[in-house]
Amino acid sequence: MQAVLAAEDRRYRAMVDGDLDALEQLLADGLCYTHSSGTRDTKEQWLAKLRSRHYVYRRAEHPVDRVEVTGDTAIVVGRMTAVVDVAGVPKTLDNLALAVWTRAGGSWRLLAYAPTPPQA
């Protein structure tokens, strides 16, 4: 469980730091990354949008409520708050979040991410 939390920490740090090399290593090839807007990206699409600065993460935090590990799969349940520029427009996000990690070649890699706004 600690290794999953460490990978999740590295992912958020890489997003804010714009460290796309580190981020690429943390993403599974079959990644399905859902955004708060409801759009979805593959690994290649999301990295291309980060490279082009379509998404620029200014701040991102991810308090974790729980982690469930079963074999080579882990589910991280928590929240994601962030300040991100989307196509040059600043957005403030506050979402519940579900991240699915898989252990590929001994390393934990993000396979799926899905945020959802909390109920009012």
pTM: 0.94
Q: Please give the pLDDT value at position 108.
A: 97
Write down the pLDDT at residue 120: 63
In the chain the domains, ranked by start, together with CATH numbers, are 2-116 (3.10.450.50)
Contact 97, 114 (CB under 8 A): yes
Picking from 55, 43, 15, the residue whose alpha carbon sits closest to that of residue 111 is 43
What gap in Å lies between CA 82 and CA 2, rounded to an integer?
Answer: 23
Residues of the chain short of pLDDT 70, as ranges, are 120
Q: Which residues, including other chains, have CB under 8 Å from residue 7's CB and lie 6 or more apart?
A: 26, 101, 107, 108, 109, 110
Predicted local distance difference test score (pLDDT) of residue 105: 81
C-alpha span between 64 and 71 (Å, rounded): 20
